[in-house]
Amino acid sequence: MNWDDTTDADSAEERLVGSVADREDQAVEAALRPKDLGEFIGQEKVREQLDLVLRAARARGATADHVLLSGAPGLGKTTLSMIIAAEMGAPIRITSGPAIQHAGDLAAILSSLQEGEVLFLDEIHRMSRPAEEMLYMAMEDFRVDVIVGKGPGATAIPLELPPFTLVGATTRAGLLPPPLRDRFGFTAHMEFYEPAELQRVIHRSAHLLDVEIDTAGAAEIAGRSRGTPRIANRLLRRVRDYAQVKADGVITRDIAEAALAVYEVDARGLDRLDRAVLEALLKLFGGGPVGLSTLAVAVGEERETVEEVAEPFLVREGLLARTPRGRVATPAAWAHLGLTPPRTAAGGSAQQDLFGT
């Protein structure tokens, strides 16, 4: 075997190990998902409103109205879609906007739906325009027109659909065109979780995972979970691993702190990428302003990764600001990293001049 063969074999093994690990994580996440609205923690207003919608539909013996769920990743949109199907006693079909690039793709899915079935369409804002226009008629009239042939001889064949419930999920509701948004009978925005709610999520997950955790340990993990249950559950699993290997398996505050230090999650919830962005902004560019593309090159990441993964949390935490001139670090960012802002000729810091402080 030559070197290239060895490299290919190693790469194949790494991909196999990675895919197995991903499947294991997905299996654990599926096991931790609440099965009904009573088990679902947080999002009190959304749960109350959705409960009314589903109860009324069941009382009428009708299919539930179409539902649009918006909010940041990891807040429970997929879980709620599964709960909607369970509460209605209906099967669920799961797909995503990027997977539907042609009207024919959507027509194939819609034509195979059963009566009352729930169709969960994740990242609905990324669906192609032709498919989107077909969806209008399907949602409103439970009918689609399938075009057969091309040119002057093309014929539109109407295809009746059984009543179904579309659950759309999006992280960017503003990108949805008004005609599509208006066809949803119920819309809900998912909010970030408070630390106390995340502690309840962590205690529930720890019980399901058969992990012993005390209140202080749960609070430590919750405080670093960025207001997101998915992140809380992921950190819990990593702290569990550390506790099993390095301690007696019980998660306390000290164990949680030590474990999260190993995984480079600081006390405020910033991870390696967040800190890399802040450090580049402060140390290389004096706190900014600096363009997004330049900042992405400095941290060795794609522009989209910095913009969609790191920036939203940094902005929400008040550590970074988006300005017309570029990205700017706030005084809180300097303080968080223990650095001193550069002084201006007038004696103040550049950030004080930008923010008027």
- Which residues contribute to the annotated binding site? 32-33, 74, 77-79, 140-142, 183, 193, 230, 303, 322, 327
Which residue in the list 47, 224, 226, 230 is annotated as catalytic? 230
170 an active-site residue?
Answer: no
122 an active-site residue?
Answer: yes
Residue 280 DSSP code: I
77 an active-site residue?
Answer: yes
Q: Residue 323, Cβ neighbours under 10 Å: how many?
A: 11
SS3 318: coil
Contacts for 274 with CB less than 8 Å, ≥ 6 apart: 310, 313, 314
Which residue in the list 47, 63, 77, 226 is annotated as catalytic? 77
Between CA 90 and CA 62 the distance in angstroms is 12
Which residue in the list 78, 228, 252, 330 is annotated as catalytic? 78
Known binding-site residues for ATP equal: 32-33, 74, 77-79, 140-142, 183, 193, 230
Known binding-site residues for Mg(2+) equal: 78
Strand-pair partners of 159 = 144
Which residue in the list 47, 122, 224, 226 is annotated as catalytic? 122
Q: Is the peptide bond before 324 cis (omega within 30 degrees of 0)?
A: no
23 an active-site residue?
Answer: no
Instruction: Encode 223-259: b = buried (16+ Cβ within 10 Å), e = exposed.
Output: bbbbbbbbbbbbbbbbbbebbeeeeeeebbeebbbeb
Between CA 71 and CA 224 the distance in angstroms is 19
Contact call for residues 332 and 282 (beta carbons, < 8 A): no
230 an active-site residue?
Answer: yes
Which residue in the list 171, 228, 252, 330 is annotated as catalytic? 171
SS3 290: strand
> Active-site residues: which are they?
77-78, 122, 171, 230
